[in-house]
Structure 1
Amino acid sequence: MSVEWDWWTVEFGDTHAGRVGVLVAEPLPEPLAALLVEITEQLTVTAAATPLAALRAVGVLERIAARVGREAAGAVGDDGMSAETVATALGTTRSKALVLLLTAQDR
């Protein structure tokens, strides 16, 4: 099973994003991108075979992502990066970037 690259670029900003018209300034490091593809594939297989185990794994990943996301957003905020710069780097809106930065202040 493979992950569709169009979905991947929209969700994660792959370095191939230009091929589908998505402008993202900060691509994922290749080892992390490969790991995310592998996790997606494993979760998909697990969801089909043992849905409760997949739900448990998703919950763990959500908690990890939330914690690491707050830490990363805090580091970006500590560096004084503007919401506009963050939005461009993440391929999102200024409003969403501002929420990330403000949420990270509560860490």
Structure 2
Amino acid sequence: MIRDLYNVRVRAAEGADEGVATPLTDEEEQRVRAVLFSELGNTIADQGWVRFPAYTLEDRRRLVAVAQRLSAHWGQQVFVEAEDHTRVRLWLTGHESRAESPALRP
């Protein structure tokens, strides 16, 4: 049986820059931001804040863009703060205190 493969990328040869991630295509980036907008937006709407992992500078930029989009969508500011090197917190006014509960995991 022959199968056609769509949207498949060639992997780098073993040992060749394995620590470097391939950037997302524009379509992939749009899909990631749409999912983050929906999932993080639902959590923020429910509890007023959310904590999400951000391991790279691009992850942090993506979360800031999602917060800006949520702010425009809701008509109120969604604040963003890097808690440490691996987590970012997004919240609405009135939810400034850092509640210690499990992070939303992708």
Task: Give the structure-1-normalised TM-score.
Answer: 0.31
* Larger strand proportion of the pair: 2
* Larger helix proportion of the pair: 1
Larger Rg: 2
Task: Give the structure-2-normalised TM-score.
Answer: 0.32
